């Protein structure tokens, strides 16, 4: 029987309807504006396609980490407000201003530099002020926020449009840390309130806080991991209607029987015990499939173990549970096949990490195929 024709050795399928539906739920339930976070190439799903689906689902803002990510969206035709959530060098400031991006600031020096570039360009830069309420990352401390608020309020060349913070532990059952952060953030807001412009937008809630903290929704929420149908943490599950958007697939490229005592892959850490059917998959650590013991994939609706060391471009599986498997069969790394499923969370558990890192780590050379576009 001829092998089915498959266009790729390994590929990711992204269901854009799942993105739309997940966003729509948050829009309807939160009752505030939604910023879709599409940094890291849309958490590995593809930023342009995800951004389009998110806006169709009701999001009105986009958020990214790097200037390059924002410029990719602008070049794709997006006119939506885009917030740069992280560091922007002085050399990049004029590009951001000219591209009508919203810039995060947290120091007097940044504000002065933006003043200079905005004045030179004759164009006002849009800024959001970041408060570090307990993340220990970028942001002005709450007790120092008033000084920057005064500076922004008196600026001639900047448009102060927002203020925000980020929660470090909103995905945990114990609310103590988030309560403290929220208290600190509210303190900063009160200290700055006299300097607020009339249309200032306040935001704090990430995916976990959207699901668990009605008191942290403010004027806008930032929807990241949950938009992709992935839970923020094992202790912060998603509503039942949320669906994972991503599946990762490959094929059986070769099947052979090997006698007892044959070593498999580099270092021969696996040796055949009896005559065994071994399959080869054209996916490896260069694609983001980690060189880790305990990996499993789905073949013909059953979970089968990856054996030996994962190579750069290939790996091997034991076909003992699926003796009928043939070259050309579809293989699922993440997703459903028949009655079985392997989730990004399951893969993360094997790799000793989180679902975010699993999907963000799928390599650029793995094509993204979009469903329900």
**147 closest CA partner among 191, 114, 201:** 191
Catalytic-role residue among 8, 39, 124, 285: 39
SS3 track for 15-43: EHHHHHHHHHHHHHHHCCEEEEECHHHHH
Q: What is 227-272 written as a DSSP string? A: GGT--SBTTBPPPTT----EEEEEE--EEEEE-TT-EESGGG-EE-
How do the residues of the chain divide into helix, strand and coil, expressed in percent and rounded to 5?
35, 25, 40
276 touches 255 (CB < 8 A): no
Catalytic-role residue among 90, 256, 266, 364: 266
- Based on the number of CB atoms within 10 Å of its own CB, is 230 exposed (0-12), middle (13-18) or buried (19 or more)? buried
The label of the residue with tokens 């505030």 reads 32
Neighbours of 23 (CB within 10 A): 23
Neighbours of 291 (CB within 10 A): 15
SS3 track for 65-124: CCHHHHHHHHHCCCCCCEEECCCCCHHHHHHHHHCCCEEEECCHHHHHHHHHHHHHHCCC
42 touches 63 (CB < 8 A): no
Distance CA(38)–CA(62), nearest Å, equals 7
Task: Determine whether 43 is an active site residue.
Answer: no
Task: Determine whether 266 is an active site residue.
Answer: yes
- Helix 108-121, helix 145-153: angle, nearest 10: 10
The label of the residue with tokens 């009160």 reads 190
Residues that are catalytic: 39, 266
């Amino acid at each position: 029987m001829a092998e089915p024709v498959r266009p790729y050795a390994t590929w990711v399928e992204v269901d854009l309807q799942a993105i739309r539906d997940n966003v729509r739920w948050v829009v309807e339930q939160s009752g505030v504006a939604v910023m879709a976070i599409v940094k890291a190439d849309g958490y590995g799903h593809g930023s342009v396609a995800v951004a389009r689906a998110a806006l169709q689902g009701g999001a009105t803002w986009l958020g990214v980490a790097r200037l390059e990510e924002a410029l990719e969206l602008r070049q794709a035709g997006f006119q939506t407000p885009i917030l740069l959530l992280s560091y922007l060098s002085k050399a990049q400031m004029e590009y951001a201003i000219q591209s009508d991006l919203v810039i995060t600031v947290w120091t007097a020096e940044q504000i002065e530099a933006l003043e200079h570039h905005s004045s030179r360009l004759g164009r006002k830069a849009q800024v959001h002020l970041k408060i570090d309420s307990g993340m220990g990352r970028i942001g002005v401390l709450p007790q120092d926020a008033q000084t920057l608020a005064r500076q922004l309020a008196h600026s001639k060349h900047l448009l102060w449009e927002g203020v925000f913070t980020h929660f470090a532990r909103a995905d945990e059952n114990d609310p103590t840390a988030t309560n403290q952060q929220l208290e600190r953030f509210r303190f900063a807001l009160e200290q700055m309130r006299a300097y607020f412009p009339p249309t200032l937008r306040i935001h704090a809630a990430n995916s976990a806080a959207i699901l668990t903290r009605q008191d942290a929704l403010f004027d806008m929420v930032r929807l990241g991991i949950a938009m992709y149908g992935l839970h923020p943490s094992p202790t912060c599950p998603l509503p039942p209607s949320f669906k994972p958007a991503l599946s990762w697939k490959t094929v059986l490229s070769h099947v052979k029987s090997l006698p007892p005592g044959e070593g498999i892959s580099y270092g021969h850490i696996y040796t055949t015990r009896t005559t065994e059917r071994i399959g080869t998959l054209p996916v490896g650590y260069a694609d983001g499939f980690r060189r880790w013991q305990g990996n499993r994939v789905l073949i013909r609706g059953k979970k089968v173990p990856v054996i030996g060391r994962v190579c750069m471009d290939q790996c091997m599986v034991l076909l003992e549970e699926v003796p009928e498997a043939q070259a050309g069969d579809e293989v699922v790394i993440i997703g459903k096949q028949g009655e079985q499923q392997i989730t990004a969370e399951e893969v993360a558990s094997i790799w000793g990490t989180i679902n975010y890192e699993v999907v963000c780590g799928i390599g650029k050379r793995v094509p993204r195929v979009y469903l329900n576009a």
